[in-house]
Amino acid sequence: MSDSKASFFRQSAWMVLATVGGGVGMVLVHTLVRGRCGAEPYAEFKALLSSFYVVAAAAGGCWTLFAQQSAAAITESKRQAVATSAKRVSVAIFWVGLALALLLALFQGRLVALWKLSNPLSLWATWLLAILTLWVGVVRGLLQGRQNFFGLGWVSILDGIGRLGWVGLIVVVFGGLAAGAVTGAVLGCIAGLGVGIWVLRDFFKTPPGDFAWRPWLTAFLPLALSAGSLQLIQQLDNMFWQAIVPKDALDHWKVGARFSPAQTVGFGITQFMVPLALVMLPRIAKSAARGETTDALRLTVLCTAAMGGLAAIGCTLFPVLPLQVMFFKTPDLWQAAPLVPWFAWAMVCYTLANVFYSDLFARARFACVPWIVVLAAGYAGTLWFLKPRLLQMDPMAAYRLGVQVLGGFCVALLLSGYWFSRRHGR
């Protein structure tokens, strides 16, 4: 085995361990919130997190762009330019946060009513979590681009484990509900951010370099659009069900018991496979900058397909098992088992699509972005079109149809990613 391949597998193994470690912490947060707070606060918590993932999708754009730029910075002047852009963007995030706070103040009442929230403070905790995540996106991008996977892994671990610790303290000791759980997530995010800044302390001392907003925004906007669209595809369903089910019918539909647990299993599968693409992107960006070839895409596709396929087969043969592992103290959540195989296969297709798109973005090729946006809009429009029919169905049948729609769009996403990759001769 060549040194390059051995290094790829070593770094991938560490990132899988780190991501799984952080992911276990985040999964146990769901177990804790559901077990201590009950079904309705858990459904609120899931809806808030889903909205956070979509609103904070710009963090994904920052992450990918800084990873690509810092990996391609093969001269000192380019490294100085990346460091300067990171500082400028971090300041801009602060001002964006203030603007979002004003919007939240204006629409707080509508959002509380729409998502049937018991405490409006949970919206403000979610806002703070989104802003912190934007800063974390900058830090993670820099660590990934510099191939400092040791630091990147510890950011993931502390974000997840720290989140679990703080949520446990607030929920168990102080009796917090959805608002308290999101506040715990904020404190965990601060822990991960602090570690990332400390690891990059020398990088931030780099002398000022050239920076212009227009070319940076030209590269950032396609990545933010694609990240937002991809997050919408993955996270919309929880917000959708929490919004359309009438408040007086929540006990009948039991979104937090029949749907959200299976969605959490699907999300966990993506976290298990994503680390391979994290290792792949900077390798491809650096190779492209040097005009070299690399087999990182082929290795990532094969490993991701193998890992995801095994996970999905396991979920198909034993659909209740992941629910028993994740929610071992709440057997009422195991009733979501019929949805688990559908979510598993949908998320395998979704993650493989992300591998192809990451390869394209590492090479600064953004022609695929409009198609990603169209698919996300099509998915949202399809769910909204089906809303009257879904509300007339048996809850489990309606949930299954919703997940099948998600699966169909994930397959389309995978096929489009493969097509664009082949179009560029990959």
Q: Which residue would you say has higher pLDDT here, 39 or 108?
A: 108
Q: Tell me: the pLDDT tens digits for 323-343?
A: 888 777 778 888 889 999 999
Sign of CA dihedral 137, 142, 144, 148: negative
- HEC letters along 168-186: HHHHHHCCCCHHHHHHHHH
Which has the closest alpha carbon to 343: 419, 263, 285, 255? 263
Q: How much is the pLDDT for 259? A: 85
Q: How much is the pLDDT for 241? A: 84
Q: How many helices (H) and strands (E) does the chain have?
A: 15, 0
Q: How much is the pLDDT for 154? A: 82
For residue 390, give the amino acid letter. Answer: L
The answer to whether residues 413 and 351 touch, using CB atoms and an 8 Å cutoff, is: no
Q: Tell me: the pLDDT tens digits for 19-53?
A: 666 666 666 776 667 666 666 677 677 667 766 66
The lowest-confidence range among 33-42, 218-227, 410-419 is 33-42
Element (H, E) at 346: helix 340-362
pTM comes to: 0.73
CB under 8 Å to 399, separation ≥6 — which residues? 241, 258, 259, 262, 339
pLDDT-derived band at 225, boundaries 50, 70, 90: confident
Angle between helices 213-244 and 39-55 (to 10 degrees): 160
The answer to whether residues 301 and 319 touch, using CB atoms and an 8 Å cutoff, is: no
The answer to whether residues 277 and 300 touch, using CB atoms and an 8 Å cutoff, is: yes
For the chain, what percent of residues have pLDDT higher than 70? 79
Which has the closest alpha carbon to 278: 391, 171, 147, 158? 147
CB atoms within 10 A of CB 281: 25
pLDDT-derived band at 1, boundaries 50, 70, 90: very low
The answer to whether residues 307 and 96 touch, using CB atoms and an 8 Å cutoff, is: no
Q: How much is the pLDDT for 210? A: 77
Q: What is the mean pLDDT of the chain?
A: 81
For residue 314, give the amino acid letter. Answer: G
CB under 8 Å to 103, separation ≥6 — which residues? none
Q: Tell me: the pLDDT tens digits for 351-392?
A: 999 889 988 887 778 888 999 999 999 999 999 999 999 999
Q: Tell me: the pLDDT tens digits for 136-193?
A: 889 988 888 888 888 888 888 877 777 777 777 776 655 556 667 777 778 888 888 8
